[in-house]
Amino acid sequence: MKNHNKLLILLVGFTLSYSCVSLDEKPESNLTSNQFYRTSEDAVAAVNAIYHRMFTEWLVLFNRQLMMFEMATDDVVAGPRTRSTQVIDLSSLNHVPANTGVEWSWQYTYDAINRANIAIEKIPLIPETEINPELRNRLIAEARLLRAWNYFNLVRWFGAVPLVLKESTALTEESLNVTNASEEAIYSQILEDLQAAEGLPAPGSYSSNEVGRATLGTQKALMAKVHLTRQNWSEAASTLKELIDSDWYQLYDDFNKVFDPAFKNGPEHIFSIQFNGDPAVTNGVAWYSMPFEFNGEFVDAPNLGGGLYESFESGDKRKDRTLAKEITNPQTGLKVLLQNLTYVKYFDSATPFNQQQSRVNIPLLRYADVLLMYAEALNELNGPSAEAQEYLNRVRIRAGIPEIAQLGNSLSKDGFREYVFEERRKELALEYHRWFDLSRRGPDYYVSKLKSAGKSNAAPRHVKFPIPLRELQLNPNLSQSPDWAGF
């Protein structure tokens, strides 16, 4: 019996001595929100997350998603092997509020905005001992610029959308079910954010590993674009003039250098999506525009009815770097005849059969765009003046085609505007400008351009995209834009 008692004590003792399992969750390989945003490194990581959502990730926003909206223009069409119905529907203007491509653009943009909101809210709270004020101000300025850029996209795509300026932290209906803000309110927030970003460093201040961050040049170019879109011609012109006079930027002598990895982040590039050929990053547009012959997907195909290829004047040096019927295989040196006319802007000859790893940056803002914007603004203010012509001519001359006056047409204000837009179309093809350019000219212009390019479904409502059906179903406080009601 004695032994048994000892064993009993042992047993009970063992049971009680064991410490209780803790029910708190302490993620050891993951951070949680309330552990973070305390140091300058945390602050950089918070802003990096915004760039990530907007630019880096495959299929996301600028690295591919925006391309879906280029489908709704006269220049691009869904290639024959396109599998995604959302792309096919956008290409043929059969898209509806349930279109997945439209949904994704909305989703990723608000995700980026949420990340920006977090940075804008949390970085000011970091103690002064942990972050130097210069870095703090720069990071907040970057976040505000990126937030403005996202709202600028949203308001152009969808019109009156909810204006969310704080991180979403509660799962309550009051917090989640936001309502539409007016376009005016959104634009005034965009301008406020852009003005707050004036403290960004001048181009050239970043180290080579951070060369892709937003600069004061980005801020000015975006600001000008906002004014131009709003037809505030004089504000647009003055902002553009400041940018041009700053001498930060200049055109490359050779158009090919714009898309040559050896010249990336050069004097013409204001803001670009960065690619380095690493297998961990996919260059979405490069892969999706490449032909089958080079293992491409050939989804982003030229719309042959749009006549872009034919519109290049003879001798235009941009033509072959934009569209091609044959590609030289750099491994064999032989020309490969393509079944289809193909966009080749992002073709990287270093990895001919693997354009997912193309190192060609996608320029989102570049100096040629600035010059053309300035020419447009000057024309709107004062007609096709010599000054306005000069800025248009700088782009034309670089392309190896005659100055505008040498075409021998008498230039009206309206005629000059068309020249500028045609020049933008050729110069900036597949750089995500075409849909915005068409839509800001209004429904009549958009419909006539698309119809004459063979897209007979074009209708006035297509100058905006519909607010995603999913959002309308989930959020009773959100309403569809009037033009899209009933679709």
Show contacts with other proteins in window 32-91 (CB under 8 A): 32-34, 36, 42, 45-53, 55-57, 80-81, 83-85, 88-89
Applying CB under 8 A, does 350 fall inside the site for other proteins?
A: no
Task: State the nearest-atom distance from the C-beta of 274 to other proteins, in Å.
Answer: 4
State the number of CA atoms in the 13 A half-sphere of 332 facing the CB. Answer: 7
Cβ neighbors of 452 (< 8 A, separation 6 or more) are: 74
Pick the piece of the chain touching other proteins (CB under 8 A) from 271-279, 371-379, 386-394, 414-422. Answer: 271-279
Task: Tell me the backbone φ, ψ of residue 337, rounded to 5 degrees.
Answer: -75, 130
Q: State which of residues 2, 22, 174, 310 lies at the interface with other proteins (CB under 8 A).
A: 22
Whether residue 123 contacts residue 132, with contact meaning beta carbons closer than 8 Å, is answered with: no
User: In this complex, which beta carbon is closest to other proteins, that of residue 42 or of residue 235?
Assistant: 42
Q: What crossing angle do the helices spanning 133-158 and 100-122 adopt, rounded to 10°?
A: 150
**326, β-bridge pairs:** 337
Q: State which of residues 211, 244, 304, 459 lies at the interface with other proteins (CB under 8 A).
A: 211
Pick the piece of the chain touching other proteins (CB under 8 A) from 107-115, 364-372, 412-420, 434-442. Answer: 107-115
The Cα 76–Cα 53 span in angstroms is 25
Applying CB under 8 A, does 276 fall inside the site for other proteins?
A: yes
Residue corresponding to tokens 């782009």: 395
Applying CB under 8 A, does 474 fall inside the site for other proteins?
A: yes
The Cα 312–Cα 276 span in angstroms is 31
Task: State the nearest-atom distance from the C-beta of 407 to other proteins, in Å.
Answer: 36
Task: State the nearest-atom distance from the C-beta of 124 to other proteins, in Å.
Answer: 18
Task: State the nearest-atom distance from the C-beta of 79 to other proteins, in Å.
Answer: 9
Applying CB under 8 A, does 476 fall inside the site for other proteins?
A: yes
Applying CB under 8 A, does 176 fall inside the site for other proteins?
A: yes
Whether residue 367 contacts residue 250, with contact meaning beta carbons closer than 8 Å, is answered with: yes
Task: State the nearest-atom distance from the C-beta of 311 to other proteins, in Å.
Answer: 23
Applying CB under 8 A, does 347 fall inside the site for other proteins?
A: no
User: In this complex, which beta carbon is closest to other proteins, that of residue 107 or of residue 481?
Assistant: 107
Applying CB under 8 A, does 169 fall inside the site for other proteins?
A: yes
- Tell me which residues in 279-298 interact with other proteins (CB under 8 A): 279-281, 292, 295
The Cα 157–Cα 54 span in angstroms is 16
Instruction: Report residue 406 CA to chain centroid gap.
Output: 35
Applying CB under 8 A, does 4 fall inside the site for other proteins?
A: yes
Pick the piece of the chain touching other proteins (CB under 8 A) from 17-25, 302-310, 371-379, 396-404. Answer: 17-25
- Tell me which residues in 181-210 interact with other proteins (CB under 8 A): 206-210
Applying CB under 8 A, does 150 fall inside the site for other proteins?
A: no
Whether residue 87 contacts residue 43, with contact meaning beta carbons closer than 8 Å, is answered with: no
Taking Cα atoms as reference points, which of 467, 443, 478 lies closest to residue 99? 467
Whether residue 262 contacts residue 271, with contact meaning beta carbons closer than 8 Å, is answered with: no
Task: State the nearest-atom distance from the C-beta of 426 to other proteins, in Å.
Answer: 26
The Cα 143–Cα 153 span in angstroms is 15
Q: How close are the terminal C-alpha atoms of the chain, in Å? A: 86
Applying CB under 8 A, does 25 fall inside the site for other proteins?
A: yes
**77, β-bridge pairs:** 301
Cβ neighbors of 184 (< 8 A, separation 6 or more) are: none
Q: State which of residues 328, 349, 475, 481 lies at the interface with other proteins (CB under 8 A).
A: 475
Applying CB under 8 A, does 262 fall inside the site for other proteins?
A: no
Radius of gyration of the CA atoms of the chain, in A: 26
Taking Cα atoms as reference points, which of 308, 309, 290 lies closest to residue 299? 290
Applying CB under 8 A, does 326 fall inside the site for other proteins?
A: no
User: In this complex, which beta carbon is closest to other proteins, that of residue 81 or of residue 335?
Assistant: 81
Pick the piece of the chain touching other proteins (CB under 8 A) from 8-16, 368-376, 377-385, 423-431. Answer: 8-16
Q: State which of residues 128, 245, 253, 278 lies at the interface with other proteins (CB under 8 A).
A: 278
| CA-to-CA separations, 468 to 229, 284, 295, in angstroms, rounded | 24, 23, 33
Angle at 25 between CA 22 and CA 28, to 5 degrees: 110
**272, β-bridge pairs:** 363
Applying CB under 8 A, does 302 fall inside the site for other proteins?
A: no
User: In this complex, which beta carbon is closest to other proteins, that of residue 336 or of residue 407?
Assistant: 336
Taking Cα atoms as reference points, which of 365, 398, 372 lies closest to residue 269? 365
Applying CB under 8 A, does 363 fall inside the site for other proteins?
A: no
Pick the piece of the chain touching other proteins (CB under 8 A) from 19-27, 188-196, 362-370, 382-390. Answer: 19-27
Applying CB under 8 A, does 435 fall inside the site for other proteins?
A: no
User: In this complex, which beta carbon is closest to other proteins, that of residue 50 or of residue 388?
Assistant: 50
